[in-house]
Structure 1
Amino acid sequence: MSADFPFLGILTLLPLVGAIVVAVIPRRSAKLAKQVALIWSLAVLALSIVMWVAFKVGGDRWQFHESYAWIPSWDARFTFQADGIALVMLMLIAVLMPIVILASWNDVDQEQRSAPVYFSLLLAFEFTMIGVFAAADIFLFYVFFEVMLIPMYFIIGSFGGARRQYAAVKFFLYSLVGGLFMLAAVIGLWVVGGHTFDFDKLAQAAHSIDPNTARWLFLGFFVAFAIKAPFFPFHTWLPDAGGAAPAGAAALLVGVMDKVGTFGILRYCLPLFPEASRWFAPAALVLAVIGIIYAALLAVGQNDLKRLVSYTSIAHFGFIGIGIFAFTTQAGTGAVLYMVNHGLATGLLFIVVGMYVARRNSNLVSDFGGAGKLTPVLAGVLFFAGLASLALPGTAPFISEFLVLIGTFTAHKAYAVVATAGIILAAAYVLWMVQRTTQGTLNPALEEVPAMRKDMTLREKAVVAPLILLLILLGFYPKPVTDVINPAVQATMQDVGTKDPGPTAVTANGGVR
């Protein structure tokens, strides 16, 4: 297939069609619904791989451009295009979705809930996620940004844990408030940007917008994206949502959906409001560093496994934040790579934690202890997922974290130094979790739970194997991904009007030049 093939349009609609097909399958045919959902997600993955191959590294910044009429009076169109940043995010959702569907195979109690509805909601969520990352029309992006709340709201509220209704409402309200800030900014941008929602036209008009107006518009977008990410202090919805959501859905929530926030900052805030981005950068860096330390400290004290993983993600988003606002190519590339690697590592961690929770029927660390004696393979996978989450060398997150820190250090040494404390805290909360859950003396109560005496099944091994393989492969050879990311990040830095700091050298008299 050539680059002129309508990849993004078909890729966006394909999961929606799949969601409709699965939704009309009778409730009694739960196995058929699961099989159809899995096959459909694999078809999306196959098309995404073909698109990845068709992407021309070193070619035009924006590729796979499509545009169809929608609302002519507003100059709003169904416009899709992708740069390297969007492409890697599209691949992330395409990779994770079949894994999550397979991981969620037995998560729905068919007597109380409908399996076809659950798996239909997962495909509907994939449809909205692909639309968000592929949209090149501001109004279209906003529509997908808001619509993606609906499937996740019902997934959490109808299929989640004990506090699912509270968590679902909190998640929806936080995101909805952020969306209202964005809506005001979208309308304002349409007014001052020449009565268009086209991203390319708005990017060309960016430098003619009044600086004070641009700062207010930037703030509207940034607040919405900061809530979605989430950045400190807009983070409080995530531990509740992540703790209540089914493990597979939580992997998508934290692994992909939260990336819409950081993606939005890179895709819209920086190119459309370059001066405002530079003006707000110090405050954003402070919030990011606080988030790293604050969330890590909270993670150390958690007794709920799923909430602990949620807090680790908030800390990781702090690293992504400093990588974005350091305004260096190294840090920016590291931030985008971090988005991908975090999705893989945290997705694996949530899925494995979910396997333990399903066996023990409890989220609490204190209800485990010595579980590795009964489930040694599963314990080993949990240990690997934890090491990947704390960015152990040899795993993919190490590369991205290293790029973020070294790229930030060249421009903002103090922020980089403080952020490194998060690495130490990450080791503390991950190793504490692993030790208290799987190591030490066996909790006698575990032997009384029949499910705890079963190690990983073939299906569960098939779920975790691709993620482990990708985390190791990208840990030693990230070049195929960084080659795609780098040109897009360099172009974004040019949009902002920043340059990488030049090398420094110490002179004979002790000075620096």
Structure 2
Amino acid sequence: MLGSVAALFPAPPGLRGRDPEQAVLRHGVTVTGAVLAAAIALAAGFDHGRPGVMQAQTDISWIPALDIRIHLGVDGVSLPLLVLTALLTFLCALYSYYKMPAGGSTPSPKGFVSLLLLLEGGTLASFAVLDLMLFFLAFEMTLIPMYFLINRWGGAERERAAWRFILYTLLGSVVMLLGLLLVGVKGGTFDMVALASDNGAKLTHTTQLIAALALIVGLAVKAPMWPLHSWLPDAHTAAPTVGSVLLAGVLLKMGTYGLVRIVLPMVPEGAHTYAPYLAAFAVVGIIYGSFACLALALPSPTTTLNGGSALFNRSGAGGDLKRLIAYSSVGHMGFVLLGIATLTPTGVNGALFANIAHGLITGLLFFLVGALKDRSGTTDLDQLSGISGAALYGRAPRLGGLLAFGAVASLGLPGLAGFWGEMLAMFGAFEPADGLSRPAYLTYMALAGFGTLLTAAYMLIVVRRVCMGDHPVEPGAEHGAPRPALADVHGYEFAAWSPLVALTVLAGLWPAALLGLTDPAVQQLLAGGN
């Protein structure tokens, strides 16, 4: 946050270099790099033998009259999210140093870097604070910078998308605040550790039902849960590349993190009551998101060839690859919500694993789509796969290989990060918590399994169309002319993307590294311990 303020001031004479604009972008890389180093140091100093215990705590009185404290800490649930946030923000700052978003008529690198750092500060705070009111303030602090990143540096329809984003998320935040106040006032404290230890003992059944409903609805907007998801595709489609990466990679995780950190341990009776409905909405989101992606991935029915050039009936977001990945997030986050709704250690661990996997894989995919748009000038699938389209395997094989890697990781190929979270979420649905209807959850598991098949279908269609090309040809049409070269992966792109690829493989081959952190903390949260 200090770096965000410093970005608005002129650079010292010795640090300006030849270009003041590059100086502020370099400032962004430096600050995010320092934050990443601090996050790695925090992870290295973390006592991995006690991941269920809050560590590195800071507890300072802030507003004594309301018993609101600046209480910070980290356990096995929040540590992976803190490191993921620091990593993705650093990679976005590094990418932007070489490829600053174009934005409006007068894009400001100072404003861009300042907003990026403010967004990182708010997100890190959301995962580290242990006071309900502080959590709400940190949660809100991320909304304003993301609004301006979309509105100022986004693409077509950016103003409309930014307004939808801010209106939906602010409305959800108001509902969430009511739930937080009810829990804090009736529970006698806003301290999240103390409330989790009480396990709802000071709250009546009716209070828990009301608070849980408000919290679930408010957090589900950010998750995003169907049918409260409709702001997401527009926001992703209009956002600049780094905005989409951070929105998918870390901001969506704040909603599901709140469900695990606040709802499950603090209002357990309310969570148990609403869990079957949350699971039902989650499964609908999986199927809905998958069918929406499949509709976007398939060729336009009126695509024709006229004199050797393709004519398309789609424009804007009709068959937009960026929009497709946005809708895939609705499906993938549905697995996270399903895992949480099982109320079992297996399901919740799967949800937390899927959170991290989605951040890595979808972050990589948005980076790749942004690079593809920079090269070809479009993300329309019909154009990318047409006679003059990308055909990445032949024109930019490294870029095509990375896109294919991201696609198969997203569809849950065993051995990559996307597999474990979804599998564990379905395992949790196979044996839900006591008191939940097993036949209903078996139905949810079967529908979620069908969703994985749909995910494989649309992702493989995307790979075939973008990496190989559709090559629509009329009899006798000339189609053998060589296509112009398409720039392959640049050095700065390789630097920004390779950590995501490496971690996707590492998490897929060694899931115990992450599950060993989350499982003891999840056991404590579900048992109401601290």
In the TM superposition, what is the alpha-carbon distance from 1:288 to its structure 2 partner? Answer: 0.6
Query: Match for residue 407 of structure 1?
Result: 428
Q: Supply the distance in 2 between the matched residues of 1:448 and 1:96 (Cα, whole angstroms).
A: 38
In the TM superposition, what is the alpha-carbon distance from 1:273 to its structure 2 partner? Answer: 0.2
Matched, 1:490 2:523: yes
Q: Deviations over 1:379-409 (max 9, x none)?
A: 1100101111111111111122222222221
Query: Match for residue 121 of structure 2?
Result: 127
* Matched position secondary structure for 1:407: helix
Structure 1 pair 454/61, CA: closer, same or farther in 2 (3 Å)? same
* Matched position secondary structure for 2:515: helix
Match of 2:503 among 460, 464, 470: 470
Q: Supply the distance in 2 between the matched residues of 1:208 and 1:453 (Cα, whole angstroms).
A: 64
Structure 1 pair 78/448, CA: closer, same or farther in 2 (3 Å)? farther
Matched, 1:371 2:391: yes
Matched, 1:244 2:238: yes
Query: Match for residue 98 of structure 1?
Result: 90
Query: Match for residue 304 of structure 1?
Result: 320
Structure 1 pair 448/230, CA: closer, same or farther in 2 (3 Å)? farther
Matches within 5 A, 1:92-241: 92-104=84-96, 105-109=98-102, 112-194=106-188, 196-205=189-198, 206-241=200-235
Match of 1:87 among 75, 79, 96: 79
Structure 1 pair 222/114, CA: closer, same or farther in 2 (3 Å)? same
Query: Match for residue 305 of structure 2?
Result: none
Structure 1 pair 25/383, CA: closer, same or farther in 2 (3 Å)? farther
In the TM superposition, what is the alpha-carbon distance from 1:448 to its structure 2 partner? Answer: 11
In the TM superposition, what is the alpha-carbon distance from 1:449 to its structure 2 partner? Answer: 9.6
Structure 2 letter corresponding to 1:472 = V
Match of 1:422 among 438, 448, 451: 451
Query: Match for residue 23 of structure 1?
Result: 8
Structure 1 pair 116/188, CA: closer, same or farther in 2 (3 Å)? same
Q: Supply the distance in 1 between the matched residues of 2:275 and 2:496 (Cα, whole angstroms).
A: 40
Query: Match for residue 52 of structure 1?
Result: 43
Q: Supply the distance in 2 between the matched residues of 1:54 and 1:158 (Cα, whole angstroms).
A: 39
Match of 1:293 among 265, 269, 287: 287
Query: Would the aligned equivalents of 1:108 and 1:115 in 2 still touch at CA under 8 Å?
Result: no
Structure 1 pair 442/32, CA: closer, same or farther in 2 (3 Å)? farther
* Matched position secondary structure for 2:102: coil
RMSD: 2.0
Q: Which moved more, 1:77-86 or 1:434-443?
A: 434-443
Q: Deviations over 1:448-505 (max 9, x none)?
A: 997x621111111111111111111111112221111110111122239xxxxxxxxx
Query: Match for residue 436 of structure 1?
Result: 465
Q: Which moved more, 1:119-128 or 1:452-461?
A: 452-461
In the TM superposition, what is the alpha-carbon distance from 1:441 to its structure 2 partner? Answer: 5.1
Query: Match for residue 27 of structure 2?
Result: 36
In the TM superposition, what is the alpha-carbon distance from 1:442 to its structure 2 partner? Answer: 6.0
Q: Supply the distance in 1 between the matched residues of 2:274 and 2:425 (Cα, whole angstroms).
A: 19
Structure 1 pair 257/476, CA: closer, same or farther in 2 (3 Å)? same
In the TM superposition, what is the alpha-carbon distance from 1:244 to its structure 2 partner? Answer: 0.5
Structure 2 letter corresponding to 1:433 = V
Matches within 5 A, 1:377-392: 377-392=398-413
Query: Match for residue 264 of structure 2?
Result: 270
TM-score normalised by the chain length of structure 2: 0.87
Structure 2 letter corresponding to 1:456 = V
Q: Supply the distance in 1 between the matched residues of 2:401 and 2:3 (Cα, whole angstroms).
A: 35
* Matched position secondary structure for 1:70: strand
In the TM superposition, what is the alpha-carbon distance from 1:414 to its structure 2 partner? Answer: 2.1
Structure 1 pair 448/129, CA: closer, same or farther in 2 (3 Å)? farther
Q: Deviations over 1:201-245 (max 9, x none)?
A: 333442121111111111111111100010011000000001110
Query: Would the aligned equivalents of 1:161 and 1:246 in 2 still touch at CA under 8 Å?
Result: yes
Query: Match for residue 511 of structure 1?
Result: none
Q: Supply the distance in 1 between the matched residues of 2:510 and 2:444 (Cα, whole angstroms).
A: 28
Q: Supply the distance in 1 between the matched residues of 2:499 and 2:195 (Cα, whole angstroms).
A: 40
Q: Supply the distance in 2 between the matched residues of 1:189 and 1:448 (Cα, whole angstroms).
A: 66
Matched, 1:78 2:70: yes
Query: Would the aligned equivalents of 1:395 and 1:475 in 2 still touch at CA under 8 Å?
Result: yes
Q: Deviations over 1:268-293 (max 9, x none)?
A: 01111001100111101100111100
Structure 1 pair 30/62, CA: closer, same or farther in 2 (3 Å)? same
* Matched position secondary structure for 1:116: helix
In the TM superposition, what is the alpha-carbon distance from 1:140 to its structure 2 partner? Answer: 0.4
* Matched position secondary structure for 1:207: coil
Q: Deviations over 1:404-450 (max 9, x none)?
A: 222221233221111100111001111112222221356999x9997
Q: Supply the distance in 2 between the matched residues of 1:387 and 1:311 (Cα, whole angstroms).
A: 16
* Matched position secondary structure for 1:232: coil
Q: Which moved more, 1:268-277 or 1:30-39?
A: 30-39
Q: Supply the distance in 1 between the matched residues of 2:79 and 2:414 (Cα, whole angstroms).
A: 26
Structure 2 letter corresponding to 1:410 = E
Query: Would the aligned equivalents of 1:129 and 1:257 in 2 still touch at CA under 8 Å?
Result: yes
Q: Supply the distance in 1 between the matched residues of 2:508 and 2:185 (Cα, whole angstroms).
A: 46
Q: Deviations over 1:146-196 (max 9, x none)?
A: 1110110000000001111000000000000011101222222233122x3
* Matched position secondary structure for 1:58: coil
- Unaligned stretches of 5+ residues in structure 1: 1-15, 497-513
Query: Match for residue 488 of structure 2?
Result: 455
Match of 1:356 among 372, 376, 383: 372
* Matched position secondary structure for 1:84: coil
Q: Which moved more, 1:146-155 or 1:203-212?
A: 203-212
Structure 2 letter corresponding to 1:403 = L
TM-score normalised by the chain length of structure 1: 0.90
Q: Supply the distance in 2 between the matched residues of 1:329 and 1:244 (Cα, whole angstroms).
A: 37
Structure 1 pair 448/221, CA: closer, same or farther in 2 (3 Å)? farther
Query: Would the aligned equivalents of 2:249 and 2:363 in 1 still touch at CA under 8 Å?
Result: yes
Matched, 1:344 2:360: yes
Q: Supply the distance in 2 between the matched residues of 1:119 and 1:431 (Cα, whole angstroms).
A: 36
Structure 2 letter corresponding to 1:20 = V
Query: Match for residue 499 of structure 1?
Result: none
Query: Would the aligned equivalents of 1:409 and 1:417 in 2 still touch at CA under 8 Å?
Result: no
